[in-house]
Amino acid sequence: MLLWFRNDLRTHDNPALQYVLERLVGSDSGRAIFFISEKQWRQHDWSEIKIDFIIKHAKKLATELASLGITLELVKVDYFSDQLAYLDEYCERLHIKEVVANSELEYNEQQRDKELAKKGIKLTLFEADVIVPKGEVLNQSGSMFRVFTPFKRAWLKYVNQFGFKYISKENLPEFSALETNKKHALNQGLSKAWLFADDFERDQLPLFLRSKLPDYSNNRDFPGMAGTSEISPYLAAGLISPRYVLMQLINHYPDLLMATDSNNFAWLNEIIWREFYRHLMFHYPKLCKHQCFNSKYQQLHWHNDQQKFAAWQQAKTGYPLVDAAMRQLSQTGWMHNRLRMVVASFLTKHILIDWRWGEKYFMSQLIDGDLAANNGGWQWAASTGCDAQPYFRIFNPIRQSERFDATGDFIRTYLPELAEVPDKHIHFPHQYIANNNLNIYWPAIVEHKQARLQAIAFYK
């Protein structure tokens, strides 16, 4: 039996790992494999920071698994097809009849798994990426919900009725540790600013739940406040289990599942958005192929002006909040949710660029790049998605800046060239700059009111 790690580099709440450990009883040690397929990952637009983050965690997992009696081999191959060829040869050579893994949601990954089965290798799959199993939250006619709020209600009803499975490390069978003398220098590399998942789990998550969550609903929209959990890289890469997160949440706030109007519920609401987009992709695989959820928008004639796209990517739109957000992305590999909405709206509505260009660019930069959440977010902003914002709702980037970065502190962190601009001009400093004959910022690439009218006409 071979345990195949994919988007689940963790020992807690890992049903595939538990299955293998339970069947190891009596035998010496277990075998596990993880493919480092950088060419395939880049073809899927994974960012360099995400690749670094994953490889680091894979190396760490190898040490952890050794203490459970399992040898994890990290094998470098280019593409999914090479993974299949490798597994085929490996299983034949070692007389392995069964490969065990946690399922992956995405289309290419699923096609790869089907190909493995065609080679005659039994693939036993579990589900470890969601709290409620995909396909279990359905409306009265047995279909997936097309609106978030009723999905959420049904999701909560399911959890209240059936609970959710969680496998803690303590429940894993014990084996003698393997000798390992491999030492990896792990606190280096592009993702070094991010904690390892187990440190995050031990220190940051409880801290967030204890001290930040009660104010989350008030603070979550202000990019300068660090009011959100920043757990997304860990959830996106399967390093922390969403069921673990819910369990911790309930441990801290036992009545939470019933108290949907409470302040504390706001964070779980976002976790349920994550579930919504994953369930949606499960029911609508066309989303993996970047098709519009709402097919009437499939043929929109986006303007796709290359120069404006480059200005957006390079943080040179002339709208300080948009530019500061894009610098946050390129400098840290992460962007605050409010800003993701603002810059996505700007790209699709102010400069009429295909949301898929933005989706792809985000993926190539984000440490938490996740096909379902990213696709959901982009289609929400572009109004082409499921339960998206209506096309005539167009964020005013200046107003957003005044509301959510009133003193301009966030802007000045990422646009130090505007450090001396007074608060009242920081949100759109062009007049101030002209009056003072300064040469510190680039002109705005579009005028808001005109862009808004153009977008409405375009969507109509």
Ligand X SMILES: Cc1cc2nc3c(=O)[nH]c(=O)nc-3n(C[C@H](O)[C@H](O)[C@H](O)COP(=O)(O)OP(=O)(O)OC[C@H]3O[C@@H](n4cnc5c(N)ncnc54)[C@H](O)[C@@H]3O)c2cc1C
Residue 155 or 432: the one with the smaller Cβ distance to ligand X is 155
Residue ranges in 284-390 assigned as alpha helix (H): 306-313, 320-332, 337-345, 355-365, 371-381
**Binding segment toward ligand X, per CB under 6 A, in 23-31, 160-168, 364-372, 406-414:** 364-372
Picking from 385, 314, 380, the residue whose alpha carbon sits closest to that of residue 341 is 380
Q: What is the DSSP letter of 214?
A: G
State yes or no: residue 366 binds ligand X (CB under 6 A).
yes
Contact 270, 217 (CB under 8 A): no
Question: Which residues in 71-100 contact ligand X (CB under 6 A)?
Answer: none
Helix (H, G, I), strand (E, B) or coil at 388: coil
Question: Which residues in 22-51 contact ligand X (CB under 6 A)?
Answer: none
The residue from 48, 108, 115, 302 that is catalytic is 302
Q: Is there a catalytic annotation at residue 4?
A: no
Give the shortest CB-277-to-ligand X separation in angstroms. 5
What string marks each residue from 149 to 168 as x (binds ligand X by CB under 6 A) or -?
A: --------------------
* 132-140 long-range Cβ contacts below 8 angstroms, 24+ apart: 132/158, 132/159, 132/164, 132/275, 132/279, 134/105, 134/278, 134/279, 134/282, 134/283, 135/279, 135/282, 135/283, 137/275, 137/279
Supply 286's token pair: 């066309």
Q: Is there a catalytic annotation at residue 355?
A: yes
Per CB under 6 A, the list member of 30, 376, 397, 429 interacting with ligand X is 376
Helix (H) / strand (E) element for 126: namely: strand 122-126
Q: Is there a catalytic annotation at residue 46?
A: no
Give the shortest CB-32-to-ligand X separation in angstroms. 26
- Distance, in Å, from the CA atom of 375 to the CA atom of 56, rounded to the nearest integer, reads 26
Question: Which residues in 268-287 contact ligand X (CB under 6 A)?
Answer: 270-271, 273-274, 277
Supply 42's token pair: 């880049």
Give the shortest CB-233-to-ligand X separation in angstroms. 8
The residue type found at 393 is: R
State yes or no: residue 370 binds ligand X (CB under 6 A).
yes
Helix (H) / strand (E) element for 459: namely: helix 448-459
Q: Give every CB contact of residue 9 below 8 A, 6+ residues apart in sequence.
A: 34, 54, 57, 58, 61, 237, 238, 239
Residue 19 or 277: the one with the smaller Cβ distance to ligand X is 277
What string marks each residue from 224 to 253 as x (binds ligand X by CB under 6 A) or -?
A: ----xxxxx--xx-----------------
Give the shortest CB-434-to-ligand X separation in angstroms. 33
- Distance, in Å, from the CA atom of 321 to the CA atom of 426, rounded to the nearest integer, reads 9
Q: Is there a catalytic annotation at residue 302?
A: yes
Q: Is there a catalytic annotation at residue 357?
A: no
Backbone φ and ψ of 101, nearest 5°: -155, 170
Per CB under 6 A, the list member of 62, 344, 444, 451 interacting with ligand X is 344
**Binding segment toward ligand X, per CB under 6 A, in 18-26, 61-69, 92-100, 337-345:** 337-345
# of chain residues touching ligand X (CB under 6 A): 28
Backbone φ and ψ of 3, nearest 5°: -95, 125
CB atoms within 10 A of CB 451: 20
Residue 360 or 430: the one with the smaller Cβ distance to ligand X is 360
**Binding segment toward ligand X, per CB under 6 A, in 100-108, 197-205, 319-327, 366-374:** 366-374
Residue showing the smallest CB distance to ligand X in the complex: 377
Contact 411, 320 (CB under 8 A): yes
Q: Is there a catalytic annotation at residue 380?
A: no
The residue from 355, 359, 374, 380 that is catalytic is 355
The residue ranges that bind ligand X (CB under 6 A) are 220, 228-232, 235-236, 270-271, 273-274, 277, 337, 340-341, 344, 362, 366, 368-370, 373-374, 376-378, 381
Mind telling me the catalytic residues? 270, 273, 302, 337, 355, 378
